[in-house]
Each structure stands twice: as C-alpha cells, then as structure tokens.
C-alpha cells in the first residue's frame, strides 16, 4: 500500500512583454504587469523610470527580487549602485527610497511577494499596492485606451 499522492500539474506559460502596455505610475514612471498571482500575492512587473527620478520611500513585508535590465539605480539608504545585469535581493521587512542614476532611463524586472507599502516621512503607510491594485490599474488603463486586456492571472 502506497501513501503517494497524485500531484496536480500545471503547464508553464510564456509571457511576451510586447503584448502588454506600459501603464503610468507616480506620474513619471511606467510599469507593465506581466503576472499577478491571486493565490500567493506575487506580482511580476517591468518598471521604467526616467533618468534623474526619485520614487517614494516604500516598505516590503515580503521578499523582492529586482533584475536591472537597463540603466543604473540605487537606494538612497545604501552605497551600492545596481547596473544592467545586476540582481538586487530585498529581504522581507526592507525599506528604501529608489532613484535612477546616470543619464539613461532605467528598466527593471521586479518579482514582489505580498504588498508594496508607500511611507510618509514619519514611516506611516500612506498607500499600498498589491496584486489586486496592480491588476486594477492594468484593467483601468486598458479600458481607457481601448485595449483588450490579457489574463495575467491564469496559470
């Protein structure tokens, strides 16, 4: 007699970023929502930031992995600079203020677990993004631009 359980198997999927729109973010940046996982809360996005741009301070209760595709950027709280090809690992519980460095726009690939909490100068949460809010921004943008959205939540 075996105690083996059948494993539920899902197919891998291919995501073509060219099929997805850039969505305005913070008035100066743009993001592409590549995947939103309603089961785990994970989001996978591309973020595009113009040269010389600082984004709001934020806190991550979950881990984040950032791959720098293009340009250079840093966190104002750290002394390193991430360049194209570098990977930044952010442990759960990290807080930082991103800014682009140099004369080139920055594009990053971001894998975020849980939420992205934006903080005021007192460290209080003033806004929050998660898989649902990114998905809503994506659908709102598609509706406004007359674009048929792709289901970025399917397995």
pLDDT digit string, tens, across residues 20-73: 999 999 999 999 999 999 999 999 999 999 999 999 999 999 999 999 999 999
Residue 151: is it exposed, middle or buried by C-beta count within 10 angstroms (0-12/13-18/19+)? exposed
Residue 152: is it exposed, middle or buried by C-beta count within 10 angstroms (0-12/13-18/19+)? buried
The backbone torsions φ and ψ at residue 120, rounded to the nearest 5 degrees and listed phi first, read -85, -175
Region 2-20: what's the mean pLDDT? 90
Q: How much is the pLDDT for 1?
A: 63
Domain map (residue ranges) of the chain: 26-145
CATH code, residues 26-145: 2.60.120.10
Region 84-108: what's the mean pLDDT? 97
Strands (E), 1-152: 23-25, 29-36, 43-49, 58-60, 64-70, 72-75, 82-83, 87-90, 94-96, 98-101, 106-112, 116-119, 125-129
Per-residue tokens: 122: 């007192």
Distance between CA atoms of residues 144 and 146, nearest Å: 6
Q: How much is the pLDDT for 47?
A: 98
Q: How much is the pLDDT for 2?
A: 75
Region 71-79: what's the mean pLDDT? 97
Residue 32: is it exposed, middle or buried by C-beta count within 10 angstroms (0-12/13-18/19+)? buried
């Amino acid at each position: 007699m075996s105690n083996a359980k059948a494993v539920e198997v899902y197919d891998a999927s291919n995501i073509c970023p060219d099929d997805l729109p850039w969505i305005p973010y913070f008035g100066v940046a743009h993001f592409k929502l590549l995947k939103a996982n309603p089961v785990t809360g994970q989001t996978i996005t591309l973020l595009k930031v113009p040269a010389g741009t600082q984004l709001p301070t934020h806190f991550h209760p979950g881990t984040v992995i950032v791959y720098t595709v293009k340009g250079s950027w840093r966190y104002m709280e750290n002394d390193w600079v991430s360049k194209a090809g570098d990977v930044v690992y952010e442990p759960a519980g990290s807080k930082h203020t991103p800014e682009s460095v140099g004369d080139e726009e920055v594009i990053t690939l971001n894998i975020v677990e849980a939420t992205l909490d934006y903080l005021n100068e007192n460290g209080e949460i003033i806004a929050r993004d998660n898989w649902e809010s990114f998905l809503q921004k994506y659908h709102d943008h598609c509706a406004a631009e007359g674009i048929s959205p792709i289901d970025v939540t399917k397995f």
